C-alpha cells in the first residue's frame, strides 16, 4: 500500500548550508474534507487559529536554510502541543483519569486538537473518535517532529551546532506593546548572547521587542532544544499587523520590511552560531 504524502513541505533538507533551521508549524491553510464535515462552524472562522501567512514571511526571508512548513491547518492538529494534551471534552480516546495534570492551554480549549476559539466558541459538532485523533498523531504530528529532528541533526553534524527558529505570528498586544516576542523558555533553550543579537536587530528596525512574555515558546522549543548537545531553539512571534493587510487576511504593505527583519535575524543567529559550540558553551 502506498504511503500517504507528508502534510508538510521541506526545503533544502538534503545537505544543510547553514546551522539555522526554520520551522513554521501553524500557518497551514489545508482543511481536509473529513474535518470540514465534523465542524460546527465555517472553516473561514478558524483563521484566528492560524499564524496567517507566517509561511509567506518565512519563505521570503529564507536563503539557503533548511526549512519545514506544515500545510495542515492548526485546527486539525496543533504541532506545538504535547501528545499528552488530548482533550477529553472532544476526544473519546482519553479520559480525565488517564491524563496528566491539564495544562492551561488544554483547560482553555487549545490542546493537541483545538476545541474552541474565543470568537466562535466550540468548533466541533461531535466528539472525535480516539482512533481518529491517534491517526492524526501518526500521520501528521509525529512525521513533522521526526523531520524537524532530522534537519537539526544534519545541521549539527555539519556545523557542530544547530539553531531552530520557530516562526509564529500573534495578535497585536496593544499600543506601546511589543510587536515581536522572543521565546527561549526563560533562558533554557538558547544562549543569552544569541537572544541579544535578535533583540538588537528588532530594535534597529524600530520594532518593539519583548522576551518570553507573553510567549515563552511551546512544545516545539521544549522538545527540540538540547543545549548540552549544542542544539538551540528560539520561538519568534511577529505581530500579524506588521506584515498583513488591514483585514489581517492577506500579505500587506509591511511584508517587505518584516521579511527583511527576519532575514537579518537569521543572519545574526547564524553568525553567533558559526564560531563553534565552544564559544556558545562558554556563555
- Integer Cα distance of 122 and 90 in angstroms: 10
Burial class (CB in 10 A: 0-12, 13-18, 19+), 30: exposed
In DSSP terms, 124 is beta-bridged to 39
CB 68 within 8 A of CB 8: yes
- Integer Cα distance of 267 and 171 in angstroms: 26
Tell me which residue has cell 500545510: 71
3-state secondary structure the chain: CCCCCCCEEEECCCCCCCCEEEEECCCCCECCHHHHHHECCCHHHHHHHCCCCHHHHHHHHCCCCEEEEECECCCCCCCCCCCCCCCCCCECCCCCCCCCCCCHHHHCCCCCCCCEECCCEECECCCECHHHHHHHHHHHHHHHHHHHHHHHHHHHHHHCCEEEEEEEEECCCCCCCCCEEEECCCCCCCCHHHHHHHHHHHHHCCCCEEECCCCCCCHHHHHHCEHHHCEEEEEEEEEHHHCECCCCCCECCCHHHHHHHHHHHHHHHHHHHCCCHHHHHCC
Helix axes 255-273, 192-204, angle to 10 degrees: 150
Give the pLDDT of residue 278: 40
Give the CA distances from residue 213 to residues 9, 148, 217, 233, 248, in Å, rounded to whole numbers and listed in that order.
Answer: 30, 25, 10, 17, 22
Domain 8-80+142-275 in CATH 3.40.50.720? The answer is no
Among candidates 271, 267, 243, which has minimal Cα distance to 54? Answer: 243
* Residue ranges, the chain, pLDDT below 50: 1, 277-283
Q: How many CB atoms lie within 10 A of CB 282?
A: 7
- Which grid cell is 35? 474535518
> Largest Cα–Cα distance in the chain?
56
CB 125 within 8 A of CB 39: yes
Give the pLDDT of residue 3: 61
Residues 197-229: pLDDT tens digits? 999 999 999 999 999 999 999 999 999 999 999
Strand pairing category for 20-24 and 231-239: unpaired
- Integer Cα distance of 192 and 147 in angstroms: 27
Residue boundaries of the structural domains of the chain: 8-80+142-275
Q: State how far Cα 13 lies from the chain centre.
A: 18
Give the pLDDT of residue 1: 46
Amino acid at each position: 500500500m502506498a504511503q500517504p504524502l507528508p502534510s508538510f513541505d521541506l526545503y533544502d533538507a538534503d545537505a544543510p548550508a547553514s546551522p539555522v533551521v526554520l520551522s513554521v508549524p501553524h500557518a497551514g491553510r489545508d482543511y481536509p474534507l473529513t474535518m470540514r464535515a465534523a465542524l460546527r462552524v465555517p472553516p473561514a472562522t478558524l483563521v484566528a487559529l492560524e499564524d496567517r501567512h507566517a509561511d509567506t514571511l518565512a519563505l521570503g526571508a529564507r536563503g539557503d536554510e533548511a526549512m519545514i512548513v506544515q500545510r495542515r491547518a492548526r485546527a486539525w492538529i496543533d504541532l506545538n502541543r504535547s501528545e499528552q494534551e488530548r482533550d477529553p471534552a472532544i476526544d473519546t480516546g482519553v479520559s480525565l483519569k488517564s491524563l496528566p495534570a491539564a495544562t492551561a492551554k488544554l483547560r482553555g480549549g487549545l490542546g493537541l486538537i483545538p476545541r474552541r476559539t474565543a470568537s466562535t466558541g466550540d468548533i466541533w459538532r461531535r466528539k472525535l473518535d480516539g482512533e481518529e485523533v491517534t491517526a492524526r498523531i501518526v500521520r501528521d504530528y509525529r512525521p513533522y517532529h521526526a523531520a524537524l529532528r532530522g534537519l537539526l541533526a544534519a545541521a549539527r553534524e555539519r556545523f557542530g551546532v544547530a539553531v531552530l527558529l520557530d516562526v509564529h505570528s500573534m495578535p497585536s498586544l496593544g499600543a506601546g506593546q511589543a510587536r515581536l516576542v522572543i521565546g527561549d523558555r526563560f533562558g533554557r533553550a538558547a544562549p543569552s548572547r544569541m537572544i541579544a543579537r535578535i533583540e538588537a536587530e528588532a530594535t534597529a528596525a524600530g520594532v518593539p521587542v519583548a522576551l518570553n512574555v507573553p510567549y515563552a515558546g511551546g512544545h516545539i522549543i521544549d522538545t527540540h532544544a538540547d543545549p548540552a548537545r549544542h542544539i538551540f531553539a528560539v520561538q519568534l512571534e511577529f505581530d500579524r499587523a506588521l506584515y498583513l493587510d488591514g483585514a489581517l487576511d492577506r500579505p500587506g504593505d509591511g511584508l517587505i520590511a518584516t521579511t527583511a527583519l527576519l532575514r537579518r535575524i537569521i543572519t545574526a543567529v547564524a553568525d553567533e552560531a558559526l564560531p563553534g559550540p565552544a564559544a556558545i558553551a562558554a556563555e
